[in-house]
Amino acid sequence: MTREKGGFWVNLSAAVFYPASYAVGRPRYEGREHLPADGGALVVANHISYLDPMFTALWTYSARRVPRFLAKASLWKVPFFGRVLRGSEQIPVYRDSADAQQSLRDGVTALQQGKVVVIYPEGTISRDPAGWPMHSRTGAARLALSSQVPVIPLVHWGTREVYDHYNKRFRPLPRTTITLRAGAPLDLSAYRDRPIDAALLREVTDLMMARCRELLAEVRGEQAPTEFYRRGADQ
C-alpha cells in the first residue's frame, strides 16, 4: 500500500511529532484498518488534552493517510505554526463570525476531493471531570450528512495524564501508555435521506459521540455514563 503524499510541511511535522510522541508517552494505535486506504473519510474524535492532535495526526499518518484538521482560525496567526497549517492544508474554523459556514464548506470540499478530515465535535477539551465526551457541537454531523464518505469514530486515552490543561499539570514521566482506538465506520444510512435540520443534526451528533463514548469505555475498562456532560455558562 502506497503512502498518500502530504508534501514538505506534512513530512516535516511527522519528523517532529514522531520523536515527541515517544518522549511524552508510549503510543498504542489501534483500529487503523478502519480508515480507508484511499478516498474521503471523516474521523470524529473525543478531545481530552491539547496533546490529542499530535497523536491523532500520527495515528492517521501511520495508516498512510494525511490528516486535515478543522481547527480554530486563531492558530493561523501564530508565527511559523500558521505557516505549517497553511502548508499542510489544514482547515480554519471561524466561530461566531460571518465566515463560520465557510469552514464546513471547506471540510465538505476536502472530503469530496478524497481527503481525510479530522474533527473534534466537542469543540474544545472536555470539561467532564472524569474525561468522558461532552455535549457536542453539530458541525461534524453536517459534514457527515453533506458527503458520502465513511465516518470513523476515534478515541484518545492517556493524553490527559501527560498534559492536563485545566489543572495546569504536565507530567511526561513516568511515561504513560497513550491509546488511540478507532471503531468501524458508523452506519448513517437511515439518516441520509432526511432533510437536514437542527433535530437531525443533534440526533446524528449524539449518535457519533455515543459511539466514541462506547469505545472509550472499552479502552478504559469502565462503565460509561448515560448522559453527556454539559458545560456551564461560564465555561
Nearest Cα to Cα of residue 209 among 192, 226, 233, 234: 226
Q: Are residues 60 and 66 in contact, defined by beta-carbon separation less than 8 angstroms?
A: yes
The pTM (predicted TM-score) of the whole model is 0.94
Q: What percent of the chain has pLDDT over 70?
A: 96
Answer whether residue 21 is part of any domain. Answer: no
Answer whether residue 5 is part of any domain. Answer: no
Instruction: Name the domain count of the chain.
Output: 1
What is the reported pLDDT for 96? 64
Range of 73's domain? Answer: 27-220
Amino acid at 222: E
Residue 41 forms beta bridges with which residues?
116
Task: Give the pLDDT band of residue 93 (cuts 50, 70, 90).
Answer: confident
Task: Give the pLDDT band of residue 40 (cuts 50, 70, 90).
Answer: very high
pLDDT single digits (tens) 109-162? 999 999 999 999 999 999 999 999 999 999 999 999 999 999 999 999 999 999
Answer whether residue 235 is part of any domain. Answer: no
